[in-house]
Amino acid sequence: QVQLAESGGGLVQAGGSLRLTCVESGRTFSNYIMAWFRQAPGKEREFVVVRSGNDGRTIYADSVKGRFTVSRDSSKNTVYLEMTNLKPEDTAVYYCALRQSSTISITTGLYEYWGQGTQVTVSS
């Protein structure tokens, strides 16, 4: 059973940076897609970035392009989300998610595995 665990959230001032971490365990399949989503109060969950585990192809949401960077340390089964120049509108619970597939998707319903989320709050 795949398990995902996020950490690294917190309170930061606008313009600041945070690095989120997602540690995965229990994955037995090689074709997978890893993604970060976020959900702000009263809003639907939205994709932030999605990365193919097969070829590393990455797609960022327009709202974070140029500010957020995703990376992976395979030796640690860990995915990082580096967030810079944070804005108050980035405030949300951030989730990492994993899909057993080779097809990139930004649709939340297609991801079978989710972490518990980590809160990011950006003050103005």
| pLDDT tens by residue, 12-61 | 999 999 999 999 999 999 999 999 999 999 999 999 999 999 888 999 99
Residue 10 has pLDDT above 90, yes or no: yes
Question: How many percent of the chain have pLDDT more than 70?
Answer: 100
Residue 114 has pLDDT above 90, yes or no: yes
Mean pLDDT over 78-83 rounds to: 97
Q: Could you write out the three-class secondary structure of the chain?
A: CCEEEEECCEEEECCCCEEEEEEEECCCCCCCEEEEEEECCCCCCEEEEEEECCCCCEEECCCCCCCEEEEEEHHHCEEEEEECCCCHHHCEEEEEEEECCCCCCCCHHHCCEECCCEEEEEEC
